[in-house]
Chain A
Amino acid sequence: MDALFAPPDKEWRRIAPGFATVLRVRMLVSCAIVTGVTATALWFLTDWRWATAAIAAGVAWVIWQWFRLGRWVRAWGYVERDEDLYLTHGLWFRELTVIPYGRMQAVKVESGPLTRALGLASVELVTASLQSGAKIPGLPRADAEQLRDRLTAIGIGDEDGL
């Protein structure tokens, strides 16, 4: 099955492994909130055993997701070819997306507070279709800006023949 998601010619370029830290922090925060609320509700509505079970489930989830997010980040890949950009991501639901340069209308580089603290940024490629959804999440900031500059230099939107 990996033949389908093999890179078109060279190797996949990977995103920064540090991005896994961002995802893990987000996962911890949201899991803590959900587990806290559920455990408190169960503590007051039923007895302490249900609350402990909820906390144990939360901890198990955190441990599982911790390792899984590391693998997810390692599975992300992109390749810039002459005329298009290939992206692949996903562990269970794997996807391979091809975006021709002539179809890209804009390139956006964004970073939230956490990603900025780690020196990372995400690059989003906008086409005329809402279904394209191409966003490379955790590149080192310098790489992200160079990618954007390269794509702009190629001439985004020069094949305007819509």
Chain B
Amino acid sequence: MEKPHPLTPLVRAWVLVLAAVWTIGRELLNGGDGFRLPPLTWVTAVGAAVVLGLLVMAYLDWRATSFIVDHDELRIETGVFTKTSQRIRFDRIQSVDITEPFAARLLGLAEISIDVGAEGGHKLRYLSRSRAAAVRDYLLARAHGVRPAELTEHVRTGVLDDLGAADEVLVRVPPQRLLLGAVLSHEFLLLTIPSVVLVGVLMALDGRSWEAVRDNPWLLIGVLLPGLGALWSFVVRRVIGQWNYAFTRSGHGLKITRGLTSLTSQSVPRHRIQSLRIAQPLWWRPLGMYRVDMAVLGNHGLTTDEDQSGSNSILLPIGTRADLELVLATIWPGLRLDRIDVRPSPERARWLQPFSHRWVGWGFDESVLVTRAGWLTRVQMVVPHARLQSLAADQGPLRRRLGLATVSFHTTQMLATSAAKNLDAGLARDLLLAETARARTARLAGLLNGPASAG
């Protein structure tokens, strides 16, 4: 029977504690002649009461929380007034993530999020970092069906990157590459270039504004403010959230560790990945870099840390071709992307896809189906046959005129569609029927071999 770390209430209310400390400290510095409490007005009294109340609630909550590693389940007991006991069976555990929000990280604490499928995750707040790593390793081992001899007391992990001694790092993204990729990505260019051009044109056209800006540079902030919000969220998600990215094999599973202010250690559930999206924006082509996103079933493990990065869907933020191949081969062993023969669309499809005609195509091998689309960003969708939900062929009036059709492959991914675009109509029908058969065979093979191998 174990309790979370005693400093937990402090972390939960850290903003208020910080504000209180700051206020008192300011009084001390301004007063100069000894410590005088701020005047007892309604505002300060209510404010102090609120802060104290929240601290007391956080303390009581900590007192009431405990967790037990039992024979075949983990029990978390919480609740000050209404007692709640959450039971988590080890074989239901899909993934376990460790997150260290900024305040927790300063104090050396971490939070564990357990994802058990569709009903939302369970969180354990906060344990010391080494204890959290030990609990995480134990839970993942039990989830894979292995029973370690004991729950090791502490597992030492690095401060900056949460990697244990026995972890094998497969792919690392150096910060320079991350920054370069972010600067050259479409979102960044779209967010900055129009604003810069607008300001430049305005200042060139009107001589007075140039002087006004020179005297008072803060005016520029006002003009750029709307774009700054979007830019900030982009920087946070893509740069700060992915800092020191490492794709690691750890014991029985795979994990991703990343993050600058909040360190996140996210386990990658190989068998629940429904499809992968490999993208290459225009300006990454000279560098030969790719980005991989994954669609995971039941990815509800959102954590609350300052940069909202939580458990997101980026598998590889930026990597070379070699990194890409390594990641793919680790997720789906035996997958060789360059061995797959990609068939292009017929020549007459050029009317419908003038810019992307050279890139568009589709192909398959025994386990996956690959479709290509996109013009400015070249996208490849990789879908295993066993993960296909349903298929559709469609043909609008233009395509009918040209004798073409598009076949769409439906997966659980919400944001992107996988489709073989603008094929010859006869081929489309053959593809539809053949892929249905392949998907069925793959599904049954997966069932026969057991759920662990249905990937």
Contact = CB atoms under 8 A, between A and B. Distances in A.
B429 A3 contact: yes
Interface in B368-421: 386-397, 400, 403, 405, 408, 410-412, 414, 417
B397 to A, nearest CB: 5
A92 B396 contact: yes
A94 interface: yes
B425 interface: yes
A132 B389 contact: yes
Interface stretch (B154-162, B202-210, B442-450): B442-450
Nearest to A125: B390
Nearest to B453: A161
A127 B395 contact: no
Contact of A132 (B390, B426, B428, B446): B390
A156 B412 CA distance: 18
Interface centre among B392, B400, B454 (most CB of A within 10 A): B392
A130 B412 CA distance: 7
A114 B399 CA distance: 36
Contacts of A94: 394-396, 400
Contacts of A1: 395, 400, 403, 425
Contacts of A160: 447
A95 interface: yes
A4 B390 contact: no
B149 interface: no
Interface string A82-102: 011000001011111111101
A92 B399 CA distance: 10
B297 interface: yes
B165 interface: no
Contacts of A4: 393, 395, 405, 425-426, 428-429
Nearest to A92: B397
Nearest to B403: A1
Nearest to A104: B390
Contact of B440 (A5, A96, A100, A131): A100
Nearest to A102: B443
Contacts of B425: 1, 3-4
Contact of B390 (A90, A103, A159): A103
Contacts of B396: 92-94
Interface string A1-26: 10111001000000000000000000
A102 B440 contact: yes
B410 A131 contact: yes
A85 to B, nearest CB: 9
Nearest to B437: A83
Contacts of A90: 394
Nearest to A162: B297
Given A1-B403, A127-B410, A97 B391 contact: yes
Given A94-B394, A161-B386, A161-B454, A131 B432 contact: no
Interface of A: 1, 3-5, 8, 83-84, 90, 92-100, 102-103, 127-132, 134, 159-162
Interface of B: 272, 297, 386-397, 400, 403, 405, 408, 410-412, 414, 417, 425-426, 428-429, 432-433, 436, 439-440, 443-444, 446-447, 451, 454
